[in-house]
Amino acid sequence: MKDFAGRVAVVTGGASGIGLATAQRLAAEGMKIVLADVEVGALEAARDGLAADGAEVLAIPTDVARAEAIEALAQSTLDRFGAVHVVFNNAGVAVTGSLWESSLEDLEWSIDVNLWGVIHGIRTFVPILLEQGVPGHVINTASMAGVTSTAYLDVYTATKHAVVALSECLHKELESEESPVRASVVCPGLIRTRIMESERHRGSDPERDPPRPEPSAGAAFVDRFLSDGTEQGWDPSRVADAIVDGIREERFYIIPAQPELVALMDQRIDELRTRRNPGATAS
Ligand SMILES: NC(=O)c1ccc[n+]([C@@H]2O[C@H](COP(=O)([O-])OP(=O)(O)OC[C@H]3O[C@@H](n4cnc5c(N)ncnc54)[C@H](O)[C@@H]3O)[C@@H](O)[C@H]2O)c1
């Protein structure tokens, strides 16, 4: 997609961090914006901020884990703007820990938001984009965690690898359909957002969201590393800029990440290529 002005973008997880920065950037390109988020207060504040900057903006409270919520989001978008051109499946939550120390509730929650959220976004919006027959773009947020593996970041890593894989499939399918719609996956490095405060979305129902036990030393270390790393991370506007460039240049892999993290991706690719065990240093 080369022309943004007057077109319509849907951004999930649009009330904060990477989603909000990208919505602001797309609005600055002249796009009409549909913000979707589960956090209603932050969503309304984000909508008001964008509108104050002169954007045409619609805010729809949405839980991306629910198929019917994404279908309602698409319908509200079409009702208000009549079309949709950019779909940014971005909402996500972070849970640290090994699989065996994580509660089933946390594992299901991560998979529901990070993976099912993207699946619902693709299943709902891609048919609409294809039907329109005009240039459009689907961007899915994975992570550097989607192209590396980190001990004690198990379920997050698994969901992000899945998002990379299904995005690659989508890219190939759109090419084989000879459609004017393109796909990208974005794998940010450490970005200054509220991702390590994902706990704020957990309910207070002790049945559905039981209190977490003390984390293992490994989980506590990774949690601290990621909290510090994101606190000192890149500004989310860097990710937003990379996404807009990626859409314009029809680039599939968008990797706004610190060089030391990119080196870990390269190391993993090398491990696969040479059948070396994960994490072992080259001899
Ligand atoms: N911050 C980083 O370092 C980093 C790195 C790589 C990938 N990511 C990914 O970027 C994406 C955006 O996260 P962020 O870093 O901007 O964090 P953030 O917490 O600032 O923003 C995430 C947004 O998603 C929303 N959200 C959470 N659950 C939702 C649900 N069920 N339905 C709808 N919205 C929901 C939150 O309310 C929040 O507004 C996530 O997918 C995250 O995994 C972040």
pLDDT of residue 208: 64
User: Ligand 1: which residue has its CA nearest to atom 23?
Assistant: 13
Ligand 1-lining residues (CB < 6 angstroms) = 12-13, 15-19, 37-39, 42, 62-65, 90-93, 113, 141, 143, 188, 190-191, 193-195, 201, 230, 233
Strand order in the sheet with 8-12: 57-61, 32-37, 8-12, 86-89, 136-141, 181-186, 253-254
CA angle centred on 231, ends 52 and 57, rounded to 5°? 20
3-state secondary structure of 85: coil
pLDDT of residue 83: 98
Structure-token pair, residue 219? 């989980």
Structure-token pair, residue 39? 């956090």
10 Å CB burial of residue 16 (0-12, 13-18, 19+) is buried
Tokens 């779909």 found at: 87
Could you say which DSSP state residue 199 is in?
G
pLDDT of residue 207: 67
Mutate to test the pocket of ligand 1, among 38, 70, 87 (most ligand atoms within 8 A of CB): 38
CA angle centred on 53, ends 1 and 43, rounded to 5°? 85
pLDDT of residue 213: 80
Q: How far is the CA of 157 from the centre of ligand 1 (A)?
A: 14
Q: How far is the CA of 150 from the centre of ligand 1 (A)?
A: 19
Residue ranges in the chain whose pLDDT is less than 50 = 283
Rg from Cα positions in the chain: 18
Note the maximum CA span of the chain: 60
User: Ligand 1: which residue has its CA nearest to atom 7?
Assistant: 143
Q: How far is the CA of 13 from the centre of ligand 1 (A)?
A: 6
CATH of domain 8-274: 3.40.50.720
List the chain domain ranges. 8-274
Q: Which residues contact 270 (CB under 8 A, 6 or more apart)?
A: 276, 282
For the full predicted model, state whether its pTM sits above 0.75. Answer: yes
**161-204 confidence digits (pLDDT tens):** 999 999 999 999 999 999 999 999 999 999 999 999 998 887 65
